[in-house]
Every structure is written in C-alpha cells, then in structure tokens.
C-alpha cells in the first residue's frame, strides 16, 4: 500500500482491507469549495477564496478512474473545456503511485509524480494520492480531491453552457440516489475486488447485484434515474462511471461475475444511451481503463495480463428514446 506519510512517500504504510477483510476507502482530505458552488443537502459550503474564474483551475485525472470520470463528464457536459484545463496521469499505477509520462506529462510543473502536487499543497500531507484533483493555479494548492463534491461544484459554481445536471428542484432526490448507489455499486465493485476474505467478497457481491436488480427495475420505464426520468443529472453521471467499466474490468478482474451489464436489458440500454449522449464518449477510454485495472493491482492480477473481452458495442442502438426524456442540450 503506497501513500504519503508526513509528506514522505511510503510503500509499506497500510493495507487496503481492515481486520475483517473488508475494503476500507479513505476519506478525501482536501475539501474546499469554489465560491458559489452548491454542496449536497445539509452540507452547505462556506463562501471561499476560490472564485470560479475561467482559466484558474486545473483537473488532474486518470481516464481509468470512475471517480475522476465524474469530474471529466461534468466538465464536458457543461461545456467547461475552455474554463477548466485537464490533464491525465499514466493509466498504470505502480509503486510510486500515479505517474506522469511522456505520453501524459504534467502541463503545469513538469513533475514526475502526482504526489508532488499533493506535497506542494501540503508538505505534511498524510494520505493516499488520488485522482481527481481540482488544482488552483493561482494559489497553487488543491481545492478539493473528492469527486462527489467536485462534480457538484463544477455544475453549480460555473455558468457553463446552460446545461444543469444538478437542478435545484431535484437536488434532494439526486443526493439520495448518489448516496444510495455509492456503497453497493460505485464502491461495491471495489469492495468485491479488494475483499480479503470469501465472506467479505460474497457480501459485497450480494449487495452489488441486489442494487443492480433494483435499478434495472427502475429503468424499465424511465430514461434517467432522477425525477420522472426525463433529464440526465449527476445521479446518472455517478451511475454511468461504474456501469461503463463493469463488463470490461469489474466483471472479470474484480470477480463481479454473477451477471454482466450487457445481460440486463435496461441497464445495458441505459449505458449505451449515456455513452451516445453528445460529449460522453470522448470521456471514455477503454484502453486506459483496462490497462489500469489489470495492470495496477499486482495483488489480484500478478502477471498483469489484460483480459481481451468482452465484445460489446456501446454504439449500437439503445432503444431508449421511446421513453420520455431528452439528452442534455446546451442552451
């Protein structure tokens, strides 16, 4: 387990799992807000010195990471490409943590490792070095490294193109869905994949497939998750980031193999529908996704061989436009 301890890189610091074999995800540490950004209900952000100025912020992401994917999708769907710059780390993660490379250089400082960005923000930082990172180029610090907060603030702090993925009337319900899918689905695939005991693995898989069965039912007669399903929201962003990776990596590498997403008619149609929503496909890089997962977790795939399948096509007809609802259209 690799992490920073008091600003020093350590490769022996802590295990992924707790004593009962359950995957233990750390709390994100940097939790500042862009001024004007809206938080989940009950967590009002204070006003901050981070004004939502165009050209001031940078997103460090990995195309492989579902949490970083949320931020990249919101940036793209809201047309913030010119306001917030973005760069990628190398998809494989080895002993040194997330790395930059010739293919994926650090455009701001020319660093070799993402951890150097964390140490700049806090020379005494103790914790994991994760993506996404929302970096303030003016103050040269990390504003926030928690995707559920970054996605909300990118939607609400900037004007963007007029698309709203966190509309006021639906915020409570979107929060509930984002919460409801987090533990069994978004984090559930990791709980299965990194489980240290058979019991922890089976419990995670049971929760995961119970939740997938539930949402398969919900999506039988609505196009999207929130409200009456007629508009794409942050709840869909959060769900899609897991579903699009599922059949290629979670099913095999994380042993979530009771069923594949393409075997669920509604979840599969929904995944293709979102993939085909203008702007989303360009945020998905399946080569980097598979290289990252199969190539980075030596404890569960020591030979780092990347599975070749499945042969599924996210661009084939999804059949969901018969349900009420339109993809987001910039105003």
Ligand X SMILES: N[C@@H](CCC(=O)N[C@@H](CS)C(=O)NCC(=O)O)C(=O)O
Residues designated as active site:
65, 190
Quote the CA–CA distance of 242 and 244 in Å, as a whole number.
Answer: 6
Tokens of 317: 């007809």
Q: What is the nearest approach in angstroms of ligand X to the Cβ of residue 237?
A: 12
> From CA 113, how far away is CA 131, in angstroms rounded?
12
Q: Which residue number, 48 or 190, has a Cβ lying nearer to ligand X?
A: 190
Angle between helices 147-157 and 234-245 (to 10 degrees): 140
Binding stretches for ligand X (CB under 6 A): 28, 65, 67, 97, 128-132, 146-148
> From the CB of 132, what's the least distance to ligand X, in Å?
6
Q: Pairing between strand 84-88 and 57-61?
A: parallel
Closest distance to ligand X from the beta carbon of 94 (Å): 11
What is the DSSP code string of 139-159? TTEEEE--HHHHHHHHHHHS-
User: β-strands 8-10, 57-61: how paired?
Assistant: unpaired
Query: Which CB sits closer to ligand X, 114 or 219?
Result: 114
Structure tokens at 162: 């007029």
Cα–Cα distance, 154 to 77 (Å, whole number): 10
Judged by beta carbon, residue 71 or residue 157, the one nearer ligand X is 71
| Alpha-carbon torsion angle 194, 197, 202, 204, nearest 10 | -40
Of 25 and 258, CB closest to ligand X = 25
| φ, ψ (nearest 5 deg) of residue 43 | -125, 65
CA pair distance 17, 77, nearest whole angstrom? 35
Residue 1 CB neighbour total at 10 angstroms? 12
Phi-psi region of 79 (alpha: psi -120 to 50; beta: other; left: phi over 0): left
Q: DSSP for 162-206, please give it.
A: S--SS-GGGHHHHHHHHHHHIIIIITHHHHHHT-SSHHHHHHHHH
Smallest distance, ligand X to C-beta of residue 147, A: 3
Residues 252 and 236: their CA atoms lie apart, in Å, by: 24
Residue 184 Cβ vs ligand X, minimum distance, rounded to whole Å: 16
Closer CB to ligand X, residue 76 or residue 128? 128
Tokens of 181: 């899918």
Minimum gap (Å) between residue 105 Cβ and ligand X: 18
DSSP state of 4: E
* CB nearer ligand X, residue 99 or residue 247: 99
The minimum distance between CB 131 and ligand X, in angstroms, equals 5
Query: In this complex, which beta carbon is closest to ligand X, that of residue 97 or of residue 188?
Result: 97
């Amino acid at each position: 387990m690799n992490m920073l301890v008091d600003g020093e890189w350590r490769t022996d610091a802590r295990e992924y799992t707790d004593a009962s074999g359950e995957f233990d995800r750390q709390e994100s540490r940097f939790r500042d807000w862009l001024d004007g950004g809206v938080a989940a209900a009950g967590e009002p952000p204070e006003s901050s010195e981070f004004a939502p100025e165009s050209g001031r912020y940078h997103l460090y992401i990995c195309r492989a990471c579902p949490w970083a994917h949320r931020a990249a999708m919101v940036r793209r769907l809201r047309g913030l490409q010119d306001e917030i710059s973005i760069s990628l780390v190398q998809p494989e993660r080895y002993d040194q943590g997330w790395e930059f490379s010739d293919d994926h250089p650090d455009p701001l400082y020319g660093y070799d490792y993402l951890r150097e960005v964390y140490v700049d923000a806090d020379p005494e930082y103790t914790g994991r070095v994760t993506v996404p990172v929302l970096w303030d180029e003016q103050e040269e610090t990390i504003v926030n490294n928690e995707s559920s907060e970054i996605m909300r603030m990118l939607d609400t702090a900037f004007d963007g193109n007029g698309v709203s993925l966190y509309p006021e009337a639906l915020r409570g319900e979107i929060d509930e869905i984002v919460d409801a899918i987090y533990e069994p689905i978004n984090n559930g695939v990791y709980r299965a994949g990194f489980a240290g005991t058979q019991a922890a693995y089976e419990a995670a898989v049971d929760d995961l497939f119970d939740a997938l069965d539930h949402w398969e039912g919900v999506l039988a007669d609505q196009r999207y998750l929130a409200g009456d399903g007629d508009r794409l929201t942050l709840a869909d962003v959060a769900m899609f980031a897991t579903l699009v990776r599922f059949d290629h990596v979670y099913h095999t590498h994380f042993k979530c193999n009771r069923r594949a997403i393409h075997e669920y008619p509604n979840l599969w149609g929904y995944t293709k529908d979102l993939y085909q929503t203008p702007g989303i496909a360009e945020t998905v890089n399946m080569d980097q996704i598979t290289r990252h997962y199969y190539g980075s977790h030596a404890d569960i795939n020591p030979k780092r061989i990347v599975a070749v399948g499945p042969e599924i096509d996210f661009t084939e007809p999804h059949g969901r436009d018969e349900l009420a609802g339109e993809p987001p259209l910039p105003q």
